[in-house]
Amino acid sequence: MTSGSPTSPAPAPVPVLAPDRPASPRRRYAVVGTGHRAGLYVSALTGAHADQGEIVAWVEPNAVRARYHDEQVTRETGAGPRPVYGPDDLERAIAEQRVDRVIVTTPDHAHADLVSRALRAGADVVVEKPIATDEAEARRIVDAVAETGRDLTMTFNYRYAPRNAALREVVASGEIGDVLAIHFDWALDTVHGADYFRRWHRDKRRSGGLLVHKSSHHFDLVSWWIDDAPRRVVASGGRRFYGHDGAHVREASTRPGTGVGQEDTAEARLRAEGIDPWRLDLAGDERLAALYGPEARAEDGYVRDADVFDEGIGLEDTLAVLVEYERGAVLTYSLVAHAPYEGYRVVVTGTRGRAELEVVERGSVAFGDDGVAVLDPTATPGAWDGDTVRPYGERLVVQKHWERAVDRPIPEGVGGHGGGDVFLLADVFDGPAAHDPLGRAAGYRDGIRASAVGYAANRSLTTGLPVTVADLDLGVELRRAHHDPHPATTEETPA
Ligand SMILES: NC(=O)c1ccc[n+]([C@@H]2O[C@H](COP(=O)([O-])OP(=O)(O)OC[C@H]3O[C@@H](n4cnc5c(N)ncnc54)[C@H](O)[C@@H]3O)[C@@H](O)[C@H]2O)c1
């Protein structure tokens, strides 16, 4: 992004791989749920983190998907194959394979059952967000942690993206004063946003809805940025765009067979070129085809590429939430899953000034020569050349009262999720850096704190009323004991 404002002196670089990390023992891992996300951990344990651990078992009901990852491990380590256990045999897998730690990358609705059982079977756990789909499920995990005293690592990769870490540094430094208000606007485009409407996420019982599944990332960021816990939540919104009766079908006469006006719309012009902007090309992507193609589907009927305009979709796509925080800050949050571009905007207003973070991940939805949407701008040089209005990039601007706004440099990230994944993996596999001033490593309490906003918001969507987070009865104290802008770790003792 371009800037006409002066640049302030560079802040201390965001620490990424802290040198104070103690050597960790090599651990035995079971990967539970071997779909798309499991790939991140499998690659880590066969690559950069092979010295910290090895995969000794898979727990997965679909043999085709388990085999896909197992073959990768064999290719890269020469060892193998590893046994595959069904979900009912998780405890047996842990005992027979002497598993130290399980990595849970199943659909969200299965997290609470698998995490609490793994803890009770004597393993530590690494779990993907969201920790659980609703407050009762979250409570199961809180109880299992309290009972076993075992370690649970939440993988909040967004904390590790240098741009998000840079905003945390600005707020924690006190330069904009005490935080009074946050505005957070997250836009998922019609590529990424639509994807939640094609598979299990579309059933709200399996994902907790986007306010839990997706926004738990965002609510975690807010709590972490401002070092505070949510107190009261009110939400509004619903499924407005996708589905058989959503606005797109109602308005767009461009759906095949729906009639008038096709020639007038951008979608109709794409269709005339043979491009269906709503279709996922499973067969055209080797990885997707292997994980979710006909052979995998024959095992369990998992449909990866359902029509986003189907009947029976329960997931909301247009959401607004107000959150009050314990120390008085207010958050206005919005999420749409059908924007023409992908990115987010955060404005943090404090007693001494404002910090504004603006990120464009895809300035528009563009299609390659093969008719497939371009997903990763960093892997497709030139895809958005010439877009000066919404250029790909990020910008952090800080302005103090009675001063001009200044650009704050953001360190370069590496790889996926704004550069977050590489640094996250170092904390997960090497053990959290002992003195990370940004406090990025996250535990179960952070996971509950983040999802609590979604649970409360879901209640509010149903009742139309504000919900006090304490009334969710989560069994854990979400407030921090004291305000420490430089906490050594975000984990605390169980309540
Ligand atoms: N942090 C991130 O940015 C990020 C990104 C993507 C996904 N995720 C999270 O990762 C998790 C997995 O998502 P995904 O996209 O890989 O899903 P997926 O559907 O591709 O894979 C899930 C796998 O779990 C298996 N499974 C289902 N029930 C199971 C059970 N009871 N026990 C064991 N395995 C079971 C499925 O057969 C499938 O192979 C989700 O919780 C999701 O929220 C996080």
Q: What are the structure tokens assigned to 313, written together?
A: 């979709």
Strands laid side by side in the 124-127 sheet:
84-85, 53-59, 27-32, 101-104, 124-127, 152-154, 442-443
Same domain for 270 and 235: no
pLDDT in the model for residue 46 = 97
Percent of all residues in the chain with a pLDDT value above 90, rounded to a whole number: 74
pLDDT band at 368 (very low <50, low <70, confident <90, very high): confident
For residue 20, the model assigns a pLDDT of 54
Whether residue 350 sits in one domain with residue 257: no
Give the per-residue SS3 of the chain: CCCCCCECCCCCCCCCCCCCCCCCCCEEEEEECCCCCHHHHHHHHHCCCCCCEEEEEEECCCHHHHHHHHHHHHHHHCCCCCCEECHHHHHHHHHHCCCCEEEECCCHHHHHHHHHHHHHCCCEEEECCCCCCCHHHHHHHHHHHHHHCCCEEECCHHHHCHHHHHHHHHHHHCCCCCEEEEEEEEEEECCHHHHCCCCHHHCHHHHCCHHHHCHHHHHHHHHHHHCCCEEEEEEEEECCCCCCCCHHHHHCCCCCCCCCCHHHCHHHHHHHCCCCCCCCCCCCCHHHHHHHCHHHHHHHCCCCCCCCCCCCCCCCCEEEEEEEECCCCEEEEEEEEEECCEEEEEEEEECCEEEEEEEEEECCCCECCCCCECCCHHHCCCCCCCCCCCCCEEEEEEEECCCCCEECCCCCCCCHHHHHHHHHHHHHHHCCCCCCCCCCCEEHHHHHHHHHHHHHHHHHHHHCCCEEHHHHCCCCCCCCCCCCCCCCCCCCCCC
CA distance between the termini of the chain? 45
Report CA(107)–ligand 1 centroid distance (Å): 4
Average pLDDT, stretch 442-448? 96
List the residue whose alpha carbon is closest to atom 43 of ligand 1.
Answer: 129
Q: Which atom of ligand 1 is nearest to the CA of 417?
A: 3
What is the C-alpha to C-alpha distance for residues 110 and 137, in angstroms, rounded to an integer? Answer: 9
Q: Please state, in angstroms and rounded to a whole number, the distance separating the CA atoms of residues 490 and 3.
A: 35
230 and 296, same domain (yes or no): no
User: Looking at ligand 1, which residue's alpha carbon is closest to its atom 9?
Assistant: 128
For residues 184-220, one letter each, b for 16 or more C-beta atoms within 10 angstroms of the residue's C-beta and e for the rest, the string is: bbbbbbbbbbbbbbbbbbbebebbbbbbbbbbbbbbb
Residue 192's pLDDT band (boundaries 50, 70, 90)? Answer: very high
What is the mean predicted confidence (pLDDT) over 462-476? 97
- The residue whose C-alpha atom lies closest to atom 7 belonging to ligand 1 is 37
Q: How far is the CA of 143 from the centre of ligand 1 (A)?
A: 23
218 and 292 housed in the same domain: no
Q: Name the residue at shortest CA distance from atom 25 of ligand 1.
A: 33
Centre of ligand 1 to C-alpha 404, Å, is: 46
Compute, in angstroms, the gap from residue 129 CA to the centroid of ligand 1: 10
Cα of 86 to ligand 1 centre, how many Å?
15
Q: Which atom of ligand 1 is nearest to the CA of 157?
A: 1
- 263-275 pLDDT, tens digit per residue, is 567 888 888 888 9
Task: Determine the residue of 85, 128, 192 to mutate for testing ligand 1's pocket, defined as the one with the most ligand atoms within 8 A of the Cβ atom.
Answer: 128
* Residue with CA at minimum distance from ligand 1 atom 6: 37
As a whole number of angstroms, the distance between CA 110 and CA 122 comes to: 19
Number of domains composing the chain: 2
Q: What is the mean pLDDT of residues 204-224?
A: 98
pTM for the complete prediction?
0.92
Q: What is the pLDDT of residue 1?
A: 54
**Section 34-39 average pLDDT:** 97
Residue 333 forms part of a structural domain: yes
Max avg pLDDT among 142-146, 390-394, 491-495: 142-146
pLDDT tens figures, 44-82 = 999 999 999 999 999 999 999 999 999 999 999 999 899
Residue 359 CA from chain centroid, whole number: 16
For 174-188, what is the mean pLDDT? 98
Q: Whose CA is nearest to atom 40 of ligand 1?
A: 107
CA of residue 106 to ligand 1 center, whole Å: 3
Instruction: Report yes or no on 340 lying in a domain.
Output: yes
pLDDT of 18 over the 60 cut? no
Output the CA 34–ligand 1 centroid distance in Å.
Answer: 7
Q: Are residues 272 and 234 in the same domain?
A: no
Distance, in Å, from the CA atom of 192 to the CA atom of 40, rounded to the nearest integer, reads 18
Q: Which of 31, 37, 201, 214 to mutate to test the pocket of ligand 1 (most atoms within 8 A of CB)?
A: 37
Distance 493 CA to ligand 1 centre (A): 28
pLDDT at 459 over 80: yes
Atom of ligand 1 at shortest distance to CA of 113? 31
| Nearest residue (CA) to ligand 1, atom 5 | 37
CA of 134 to the centre of ligand 1 (A): 17
Residue 273 lies in a domain: yes
Q: Tell me: do 237 and 172 sit in the same domain.
A: yes
Rounded Cα distance, 357 and 396, in Å: 4
State the distance from the centre of ligand 1 to the C-alpha of 128, rounded, in angstroms.
8
Kindly state whether residues 206 and 318 are assigned to the same domain. yes
Tell me which residue range forms the domain holding 181: 158-241+314-413
- Residue 3 falls within a domain, yes or no? no
* 121 domain-assigned: no
Closest protein CA for atom 11 of ligand 1: 105
CA distance 334 to 84: 41
Residue 282 lies in a domain: yes
Judge if the upstream peptide bond of residue 130 is cis by omega within 30 degrees of 0: yes
- Sheet architecture: strand order including 318-325: 406-407, 393-400, 353-362, 342-350, 179-189, 330-339, 318-325, 230-238, 467-468
Q: Are residues 337 and 208 in the same domain?
A: yes
Atom of ligand 1 nearest to the CA of 292: 20
> Of all residues in the chain, what percent carry a pLDDT higher than 70?
86
Residues 272 and 399 in one domain: no
pLDDT for 388-434, tens place per residue?
A: 899 889 999 999 999 999 999 998 766 655 567 888 999 999 887 76
User: What are the phi and psi torsion angles at 70 (to 5°)?
Assistant: -60, -40
Pick the residue whose CA is nearest to atom 27 on ligand 1.
106
Query: Which residues are CB-contacts of 321 (< 8 A; sequence separation ≥ 6)?
Result: 211, 215, 233, 234, 235, 236, 331, 332, 333, 334, 453, 457
Q: Which residues of 342-363 are buried (b: 16+ CB within 10 A; e: fewer)?
A: bbbebbbbbeebbbbbbbbbbb
Q: 323 with 452: CB under 8 angstroms?
A: no
Q: Is the pLDDT of residue 143 over 70?
A: yes
Last residue of a domain, which of 413, 432, 456? 413
Question: What is the CB < 6 Å shell around ligand 1?
Answer: 32-37, 59-62, 65, 87, 105-108, 110, 114, 128-129, 155, 157, 213, 417
Closest residue by Cα to atom 39, ligand 1, is: 35
The number of CA neighbours under 13 Å toward the Cβ of 217 is 18
Instruction: For residues 302 and 17, give the distance between their C-alpha atoms in angstroms, rounded to a whole number.
Output: 39
Residue 6: predicted pLDDT: 38
**324 and 175 share a domain?**
yes
Band of residue 488 on the pLDDT scale cut at 50, 70, 90: very low
Q: Of ligand 1's atoms, which has the minimum distance to the CA of residue 106?
A: 24
Least confident segment among 21-25, 77-81, 353-357: 21-25
Longest dimension (CA), the chain: 66
Instruction: Mark which of 413, 443, 463 sits at the end of a domain.
Output: 413
Q: Which of 374, 394, 413 is the last residue of a domain?
A: 413
Asked if residue 252 and residue 366 are part of one domain, the reply reads no
In a domain, 104, yes or no: no
* 87 CA closest ligand 1 atom index: 32
Average pLDDT, the chain: 89
Model confidence at 483, pLDDT cuts 50, 70, 90, reads very low
Task: Answer yes or no: do 335 and 368 share one domain.
Answer: yes
Q: Is residue 27 part of a domain?
A: no
- Ligand 1 centroid to 200 CA: how many Å? 10
Mutate to test the pocket of ligand 1, among 106, 195, 282 (most ligand atoms within 8 A of CB): 106
Ligand 1: atom nearest CA of 35 is: 21
CATH number, domain containing residue 327: 3.30.360.10
Quickly tell me which residue has 């079971």 as its tokens: 30
